[in-house]
Structure 1
């Protein structure tokens, strides 16, 4: 039953504008990035189409806890939240314009996210992953709830 619920929530991430969250502790104020988690995020970035370079600061010599969209536990440095929602103007006027389309992330969702063992918040809403099927590895995530 838990797997069915998670699959349904993952489906909502990809198909609708639903944000999936859970309660996490920590923030990125004093965290130092865990190298293996940084490498997982860089591998994830390789599959992403980022037309407006939102993820430009995601580089191998940087601290992933300081990257756009990443929140780390302030005690352990583990990545606990991934905020990659696109905030389009069409949320107000219901029309998708060219600028909105360019700002949306696309591409493939890499199974490298499975290396983020402490991830408890994932928001990929308002992006365009081309109607891809929910990746099978999403079954291995577990602690997500909907608000």
Structure 2
């Protein structure tokens, strides 16, 4: 009698350990308390194992799709920024801004000097160029220039000096 009781207890313990691996905690407790063969039958165990297997497959597919979406987004962002970075044409030649000193001669005016050195690629209009010359030399736009004075004026060149 003691041997049968021991074997029965051993079987219940083994089933509980096995069931805890594949069942939820609540189902395992219910199965161990009532020792109901419905919870421990082969078909129920197979159904629970299949459910777990399907859950693992769905989780794996979700992770795979997430990884693919991440890689596609990364490649798209990388391509967008790499195209933006190389937006210059192959024929682009940089121009550098330099300053030179000129001497005022008799009859020269600020407008006359500005119109000879004005570059429309770098200034909106000749007034903005004259404004920059005045700012560099601390002049007002209506200042009278005298022969022999020196002015610093900006100019652009493709040569790097």
TM-score normalised by L of structure 2: 0.21
TM-score normalised by L of structure 1: 0.23
Specify the structure having the higher radius of gyration (Cα): 2
Question: With CA pairs under 8 Å and 6+ residues apart, which has the higher RCO, 1 or 2?
Answer: 1
- Which structure dedicates a bigger proportion of its chain to helix? 2
